[in-house]
Amino acid sequence: MIVCLCHRVSDRDIHVAVQQGTNCFEVLQDDLRVASSCGCCHDCARETFDNACAAREQNACTFEAAARA
């Protein structure tokens, strides 16, 4: 799904950026330019970013639990 039409940024692009270590929305904006023009996508981009961060945390917890088992 395209999140930002101005810069053709998809939800997948945001998830990949988070998986690669982006942990600040402002950095995401600098890197992908998402929500940096008209701003219409800001809320959706932010929600997608927050969900991607939560998924990353969940995966880290699952990995740690598996490593301890």
| Interacting residue ranges for ligand FES, rule: CB under 6 A | 4-6, 35-41
Q: Which is nearer to ligand FES, 39 or 62 (CB)?
A: 39
Give the type of residue at 10: S
Smallest gap from Cβ 9 to ligand FES, in A, equals: 7
Between CA 22 and CA 37 the distance in angstroms is 20
Q: Which is nearer to ligand FES, 31 or 64 (CB)?
A: 31
Q: Which is nearer to ligand FES, 16 or 60 (CB)?
A: 16
Between CA 68 and CA 60 the distance in angstroms is 12
Beta strands in the chain (DSSP E): 2-4, 9-10
